Amino acid sequence: MTEQKATNITWHEHVISQDELEKLHGHKGCTIWCTGLSGSGKSTIANAVAARLYEMKASTFVLDGDNIRHGLNKNLGFSPEDRVENIRRIGEVAKLFTSAGVVNLTAFISPYAADRKIARDLQPQSFVEVYCYADLSVCETRDPKGLYKKARAGELKNFTGIDAPYEAPENAELVVDTGKLSVPECVDEIIKVLRKRGVIG
Whole-number Å distance between alpha carbons of 144 and 67: 16
Whole-number Å distance between alpha carbons of 50 and 44: 10
Q: Total binding residues for ligand ADP by CB under 6 A?
A: 18
Kindly state whether residue 63 participates in binding ligand ADP, applying the rule CB under 6 A. no
Indicate which residue of 38, 59, 110, 126 is catalytic: 110
Beta-bridged to residue 175, according to DSSP, are 131
Q: Which is nearer to ligand ADP, 43 or 123 (CB)?
A: 43
Q: Could you confirm whether 137 is annotated as catalytic? A: no
Beta-bridged to residue 113, according to DSSP, are none
> Can you say whether the dihedral through the CA atoms of 140, 188, 91, 126 is positive or negative?
negative
Rounded to 5°, the CA angle 66-70-74 comes to 110
End-to-end Cα separation, the chain, in angstroms: 36
Instruction: Candidates 31-39, 50-58, 68-76, 94-102: pick the segment binding ligand ADP (CB under 6 A).
Output: 31-39
Q: Which of 100, 103, 186, 190 binds ligand ADP (CB under 6 A)?
A: 186
Q: Which of 29, 32, 39, 129 binds ligand ADP (CB under 6 A)?
A: 39
Residues 159-178 within binding reach of ligand ADP (CB under 6 A): 178
Question: Residues 162, 151: contact at Cβ < 8 Å?
Answer: yes
Residues 82-121 within binding reach of ligand ADP (CB under 6 A): 107
Contact residues toward ligand ADP (CB under 6 A) are 36, 38-45, 107, 132, 142, 144, 178, 181-183, 186
Q: Cite the active site residues.
A: 110
